């Protein structure tokens, strides 16, 4: 029969492996959906924080492979201690405040050094609890930033606040336990608790930070997330409402336009995610600048926009010519690849057309324009017989 201490020593490597798997997934998501999807200083800092967590997890696996019990000697955990501070720094950076990013790296280095120097001494377990408590201060600052910063009132920050609070409570319990006396079994139990709780914290941080990176903060996250481009569901409602009013007033000066980048998939593969995101931003900026402010714009996908505008066919064609000319003239980026776009124009019949009909007709016209070589527009009702270059 193995005693309790021996039981706790045999299992921990599985916990470290599980944590490493989770952190690897979190880092991949943060880089893919955060840093590449929404490149900014905030997503960069968050990605670096998860990278520290991953380095600490891999360090624990390396230590365990040498035969050292990583629960009795959790030295590599010191690298992870800077992750909460970097998450806090990213939250500040996302709000335009000074990030103090250096604090996370300093904390990682200092924590690693403290654990390395004391792990074989009787003070080692107590030092670990102090180091963990210092790390939870970064999590607490992040929770405060969510509660009182620009994210105040956002329901999407609540999981991060809850898990940050759990980390702080666990750290306080550890300090109280250190004051009452530390045994080998209690130290192993505490480290197990730290590994599990920190893993949950990183999972919730990934979900919350990715949402905050893709949504503007505030109580009305969805509405506040709107920029110059409406999402498709909102555009559907807007077009339906305008068609009803236009039909009641017997108006006929409406146009529906589908504008999309030519060879978007090839352009993405050739330039990479970051450059392609810059090209899409340039494309959308030209759309916003070209069409009047009373036009309704909708982002279908990155590089694909539809426009509903109160303009007669001739005026709409002139706007489209101007837009395609601007896009082809200057990409605004240092890339050898030429950017162009094509458009499909539909003359709206307010009494008969619906949003789905307009989307389908405009898309077919835009696809026809691309099949003809791109960098041009096609009017839907001309069945590709009347075509023009910008």
SS (H, E, C) 134-178: HHHHHHHHHHHHHHHCCCCCCHHHHHHHHHHHHHHHHHHHHHHHH
The share of the chain scoring above pLDDT 70, in percent, equals 87
pLDDT of residue 17: 85
- Token match 């996370």: residue? 104
**Per the structure block, which two tokens stand in for 346?**
């539909």
pLDDT of residue 329: 82
- Token match 């929404």: residue? 38
Confidence label for 135 from pLDDT (cuts 50, 70 and 90): very high
pLDDT of residue 11: 41
Distance CA 366, CA 389 (A): 13
Which candidate, 117, 110, 121, 118, places its Cα nearest to that of 85?
A: 110
**Per the structure block, which two tokens stand in for 349?**
């019949």
Q: Give CATH 3.30.70.270 domain extents, the chain.
A: 232-388
Q: Give CATH 1.20.1070 domain extents, the chain.
A: 4-220
- The pTM of the full predicted model, rounded to 2 decimals, is 0.59
Q: What is the DSSP letter of 229?
A: S
**Per the structure block, which two tokens stand in for 237?**
């409602």
pLDDT in tens, 332-382: 554 566 789 999 999 999 889 999 999 999 999 999 999 998 899 999 875
Question: Residue 225: pLDDT above 60?
Answer: no
pLDDT of residue 384: 40
Q: What mean pLDDT comes out for the span 183-187?
A: 80
Q: Which CATH architecture has domain 4-220?
A: Up-down Bundle (1.20)
pLDDT of residue 202: 94
Question: Residue 112: pLDDT above 60?
Answer: yes
pLDDT of residue 185: 83
Question: Residue 33: pLDDT above 90?
Answer: no
Question: Residue 29: pLDDT above 70?
Answer: yes
Q: Where are the beta strands (DSSP E) in the chain?
A: 255-261, 296-301, 304-309, 341-347, 377-379, 387-388
CATH for the stretch 232-388: 3.30.70.270
Higher pLDDT, 307 or 125: 307
Confidence label for 220 from pLDDT (cuts 50, 70 and 90): low
pLDDT of residue 343: 94
């Amino acid at each position: 029969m193995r005693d309790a201490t021996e039981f706790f020593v045999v299992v921990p490597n599985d916990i470290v492996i599980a944590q490493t798997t989770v952190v690897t997934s979190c880092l991949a998501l943060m880089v893919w959906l955060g840093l590449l999807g929404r490149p900014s200083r905030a997503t960069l800092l968050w990605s670096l924080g998860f990278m520290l967590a991953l380095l600490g997890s891999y360090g624990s696996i390396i230590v365990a492979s040498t035969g050292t019990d990583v629960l009795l000697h959790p030295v590599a955990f010191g690298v992870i201690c800077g992750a909460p501070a970097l998450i806090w720094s990213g939250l500040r950076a996302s709000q335009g405040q000074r990030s103090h990013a250096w604090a996370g790296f300093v904390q990682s280095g200092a924590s690693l050094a403290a654990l390395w120097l004391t792990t074989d001494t009787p003070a080692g377990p107590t030092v670990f609890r102090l180091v963990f408590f210092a790390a939870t201060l970064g999590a607490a600052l992040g929770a405060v930033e969510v509660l009182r910063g620009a994210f105040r009132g956002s329901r999407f920050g609540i999981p991060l606040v809850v898990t940050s609070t759990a980390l702080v409570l666990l750290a306080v319990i550890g300090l109280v336990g250190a004051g009452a006396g530390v045994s080998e079994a209690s130290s192993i139990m505490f480290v197990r608790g730290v590994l599990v709780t920190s893993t949950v914290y990183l999972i919730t941080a990934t979900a919350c930070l990715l949402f905050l990176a893709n949504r503007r903060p505030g109580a009305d996250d969805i509405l506040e997330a709107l920029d110059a481009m409406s999402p498709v569901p909102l555009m559907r409602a807007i077009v339906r409402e305008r068609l009803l009013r236009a039909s009641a007033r017997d108006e006929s000066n409406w146009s529906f336009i589908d504008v999309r980048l030519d060879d978007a998939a090839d352009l993405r593969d050739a330039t990479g995610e970051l450059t392609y995101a810059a090209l899409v931003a340039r494309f959308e900026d030209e759309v916003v600048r070209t069409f009047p402010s009373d036009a309704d714009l909708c982002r279908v996908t990155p590089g694909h926009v539809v426009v509903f505008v109160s303009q007669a066919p001739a005026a709409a064609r002139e706007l489209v010519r101007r837009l395609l000319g601007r896009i082809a003239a200057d990409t605004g980026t240092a890339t050898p690849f030429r950017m162009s776009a094509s458009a499909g124009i539909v003359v709206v019949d307010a009494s008969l057309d619906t949003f789905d009909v307009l989307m389908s007709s405009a898309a077919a016209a835009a696809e026809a324009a691309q099949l003809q070589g791109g960098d041009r527009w096609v009017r839907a009702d001309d069945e590709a017989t009347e075509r023009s270059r910008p």
